[in-house]
Chain A
């Protein structure tokens, strides 16, 4: 293996001998005689190894070694010494040299020392990489250092470079869209479009148009040509959330798209080739959906190439407080509050909660507390009641299974006080989104803080 070796040696005879020996071993070699030249060359040439004479005319070789190491330059540093300065060599090893070699050295000794040093350096680098991977506390928008999340990060990293479809499963609020975005960002398509479509939130008769687009006049209200999510995601990633909600006729059309890569706009006559990477998600058991005949098996196996299961928050050891602190800092900043941490009783309450609504529920709880209170420390009394429940009822994870919105919303002719109408609207939005305050606020185009304040008022009534 050819490697770059920088020889730092002020004695020409020694330097030339090192050069011819290293060259005969197949390495690229550069020679410098001073510490200043060593630093400059290491910076510019990025050697894999440095053969460093620690007795230099202009500088202490040990100090140079520390500078190289601190700057991340030099790779494997091998100290060259004479018999009388073994103690210095030992000191150098303690200071970060990978090995030392005593002058005069034979070719075989140099070869073995260099190979060992490079291998040791590579192993150290690999170990550091693995350690860093195993202890990541965040990853493309995810917050979490639990072993369960480390496995998720590794899967995302492994699958990102591929074009294979990914099928994300997990309870509501576990971050399925975040996972899809992470796959997209970590992939070679990261610079292209990421288009997310919530199949469960789109009226059935608009779904085809939303996915494939339409031409002007295709149906009432189609006043102009419109691209669908598939075309908008061309070259990038198409994320189909709640894919289990797709009606059977739409599953057939999606299967055709997945198989052929061709889309046809509603009302259009020609096909258009589109290159997308599919990421799908559902909070239902996809195998059960297939077994029950609600989801086409052929489509399922086209999309279920790489499964990615997101763990519920209760299975993420240590992540509750990590997430809570992250959200507290974020919401305090957004809402202009002074919170800097949690009181022990709040921490205990947060850690005892089962979090059936997962990260989204935790997020809502913290936002609620931050919006309605202020101070330096957030204590348990500031938390909404839900967080105190040690054995909370699971949140309704499946938005489609939720009761329909109050009738009042479907009967606009009914006249009622504005406050009542407002409450019904907000409650309907919360029901539609599985109590996701942020998404509910987005649906009715108000801020999440507004909903929290309203909820506080209703509780006080």
Chain B
């Protein structure tokens, strides 16, 4: 953040709405990363894929493209093994933290 789509959002939404959406995004990511961790621990590949799908959706909504792309790769069933989940889960958690940090920085610059 901000990428092309996030810039589009600044044109489409007033700052209050944009802050609201990004706050929901932050909460969403925190919840989804927690669920991803649970799925990895279980290990539960089905749940992992479902959570990765939601993570991709949330990231895509605000233009966090790196996280979205990684989440879409992680939800590919063929690659979901316990080890794969652990690796992907960690990578996704890191990308989510990065996306949250970028989002906060973006919000801080909003009028």
Contacts and interface: CB of A to CB of B under 8 A. Distances in A.
A20 B22 CA distance: 12
B58 interface: yes
Chain A interface bracket (under 10, 10 to 19, 20 to 34, 35 or more): 20 to 34
Interface string A14-48: 10110011001000000000000000000000000
Nearest to A84: B72
A104 B60 contact: yes
A107 B61 contact: no
Contact of B62 (A10, A17, A108): A17
A13 B13 contact: no
Interface in B1-57: 5, 8-9, 11-14, 17, 20-21, 24-25, 27-28, 50, 53-54, 56-57
B18 to A, nearest CB: 8
Contact of A11 (B9, B13, B54): B54
Given A55-B53, A104-B60, A106-B8, A12 B24 contact: yes
A13 B25 CA distance: 5
A13 B24 contact: yes
The DSSP consensus for interface residues of chain B is: helix
Interface string A40-63: 000000000000010101000000
A108 B72 CA distance: 26
A322 interface: no
B61 A11 contact: yes
A21 B12 contact: yes
Contacts of B50: 57
Nearest to B13: A20
A14 B56 CA distance: 10
A287 interface: no
A204 interface: no
A122 interface: no
Nearest to A53: B57
Contacts of B14: 24
B17 A12 contact: no
A24 B54 CA distance: 25
B12 A103 contact: no
B63 interface: yes
Contacts of B72: 84
The DSSP consensus for interface residues of chain A is: helix
Contacts of A24: 12-14, 17
Nearest to B5: A104
A20 to B, nearest CB: 4
A82 interface: yes
A123 to B, nearest CB: 28
Contacts of A108: 12
A101 to B, nearest CB: 13
A84 B25 CA distance: 22
B17 A13 contact: no
Most-contacted residue by chain B among A16, A24, A55, A82 (CB, 10 A): A16
B21 A103 contact: no
Most-contacted residue by chain B among A13, A84, A104 (CB, 10 A): A13
A12 B12 contact: no
A443 B57 CA distance: 79
A229 B20 CA distance: 71
Contact of A16 (B5, B11, B21): B21
Contacts of A103: 57, 60-61
B62 A13 contact: yes
Interface of B: 5, 8-9, 11-14, 17, 20-21, 24-25, 27-28, 50, 53-54, 56-58, 60-63, 72
6 contacts: A12-B24, A13-B25, A13-B28, A17-B62, A103-B57, A106-B8
Given A16-B20, A16-B24, 16 more contacts: A11-B28, A12-B28, A13-B21, A13-B57, A14-B60, A24-B12, A24-B13, A24-B17, A53-B57, A103-B57, A103-B60, A104-B5, A104-B60, A104-B61, A107-B11, A107-B12
